[in-house]
Structure formats: C-alpha cells, structure tokens
Amino acid sequence: MNGILLIDKPADWTSSDVVAKLRGVLHEKRIGHAGTLDPMATGLLVLFVGRATRACSFAEAEDKEYRAVLRLGLTTDTQDVTGRVLRECDASSVTEEALREALARMTGQIEQIPPMYSAIKQGGKKLYEIARRGGEVERKPRSITVYRLDLTGRDGEDWVLDIRCSKGTYVRTLCHDIGEMLGCGGCMSALRRVRAGTFSVQQAHTLPAVIAAAAEGRAEELLLPLDGLFAAHPALTVGAEAERRIRCGNEAALPEVPDGVFRVYGESGAFLALARTEAGVLTTIKSFFEV
C-alpha cells in the first residue's frame, strides 16, 4: 500500500496512537503523519503510507487551518482546559471590539514562545517531559505567520476563532497570548483542524471506517495518490533514457524543458519524482518510485 490517507482524528487519541493503530490494521509499518494534533484536538490528520512516507516533510511545511474555541478568564499550565489551573479571572467585561482588536494585533508575522507542554527538544529532552516533572526552561521565540484570525461566533461563554497559520504555530499558545493581551488570561477549550495544505477534513475518513474497510480488504481504495500532494507543480513526462537516469539517481539532460519544479512521470504513467530543471538539466528533489 502506497499513498495518502486522510483521517478525521477523534478526541483523546494522540497522533501516535492513530499511527500505531493503523500499522496493525493495514499491516504496514511504514506510516507517518504530517503535523501532530494534541489529544484533545479533532480533525484532519494527514497520513503517509508505504513509500509515500518519503513525502512527510513536504506536507509538514504546508499552511494549516483550524477552528479553535477561546476561553477567556482561565490560565492553565498547558494553555488549554486540560491543564492545571494557574489563574482565574472575571472576563465578562471584555467586549467583542476589544477582542477583535487583540486578534488584529496577533495577525501577520509574529514571534511565539513555544509552550512547555510540547514535543520540542531542548538539551536532548522533550519540553513536556521537563514540564511533567515540574520544571521549566527558557524557550527561544520562533517566527510564525498567522494569515487569518477571525472571530466567527460564540460557544456558550467562549469565543470561536477561525485560523489559518504557518507550520509550527501553537494554537493554544495563540489563545494564551490573546488572553494575556486582554489582561484577563485565556486558554483553548477546543480545537479542530479543518485543512492542511490542499487537503480538507471533508475528505477524511473516521478510524472505524478505515478499520471496517481493512477488514473487507478494500482499505487501499481509501488512499489518495501521492502525486496529488504536488498538484501545484506542472506534470512532466520523460522518455525512457531520462527515466533510467532518474532511477539511477543521476541528472538528465532535457534542453527543451523550461526552468521550474515538476511532477515527473515515466512513459508508463508512473510517478517518479519531484524534480527541478535549470538550464536544461533535470535534478531530482525527491524520488518516489518503487526500488
């Protein structure tokens, strides 16, 4: 099995739990994901199966879209409602106008300090391992981009936000920082990933649906072809000699092809590689053919 599998992750499952479950169900050890979701979060988890795992890093770099729920007046150590409460405050005086102003200030390229409860490694140890032992270390801020941060409604007393952001953005940290900006504190009470790159949660399958399909021997029907990940790049079909050189890891002379990045196919239609041409020479960026 080789391809992309889109899962609508349920709450209370880690991303690693989903991968481990599907390795057993699909009888395939080569399964990876592009972008972790916290256990409390639901929504789109992009999985790569078989040799498609070679493309994980490309998908990780894509922008993501989320629907998050912000709870003002509550500060926790995890920056979401699952954590230990550090401070509670009456946030009833915060107006919609004030919140919208805060959201505008958090939009664009900003510096974000990663939370202690994260899998980032520092000194060879994951931050959440240090945090669970009651420790805290200084973290360097990281540059992220929040392309869109819209207030779209209420969920009881909480506020619903639609977010599009770059790789490496911690949405619960956004919620925390918005609360700090408003002076009342805040945290994330719910999160759902709705899009990752070109993939939408509407295309995703539930875990029970994948398990049922596997039991009926039709799980492969749920996979999307890997080349779809690179749909933004034009397709290029090469002849037998160029294909032979690509399969051997060599450059290929294609003087008639303009400079650019291409999805490269053999004459049989097999997806070979993502490659770059420059001055009539094709060089592989990443190969995806079966060895």
102, 25: one domain: no
- CA angle (99, 145, 119) in 5-degree steps: 100
Helix (H, G, I), strand (E, B) or coil at 69: strand
102, 21: one domain: no
Res 133: pLDDT? 77
Show the tokens assigned to 144.
């992220």
Res 116: pLDDT? 78
* Segments of the chain with pLDDT less than 50: none
Start-to-end CA span in the chain (Å):
14
75, 177: one domain: yes
Q: Are the C-beta atoms of residues 11 and 42 closer than 8 Å to each other? A: yes
218, 145: one domain: no
User: Which tens digits make up the pLDDT trace of 66-101?
Assistant: 999 999 999 999 999 999 999 999 999 999 999 999
Res 118: pLDDT? 76
Res 126: pLDDT? 81
- How many domains are contained in the chain? 3
Q: Are the C-beta atoms of residues 186 and 178 closer than 8 Å to each other? A: yes
202, 58: one domain: yes
Q: Give me the CATH number covering residue 209.
A: 3.30.2350.10
174, 243: one domain: no
Enzyme catalytic residues: 38
| Residue indicated by tokens 């360097």 | 140
**Domain span at 27:** 3-62+198-226
Q: Dihedral through CA 256, CA 262, CA 263, CA 265, nearest 10? A: 10
Distance between CA atoms of residues 54 and 232, nearest Å: 18
Res 266: pLDDT? 96
95, 18: one domain: no
Would you report the helix, strand and coil content of the chain in percent, each value rounded to 5? 25, 35, 35
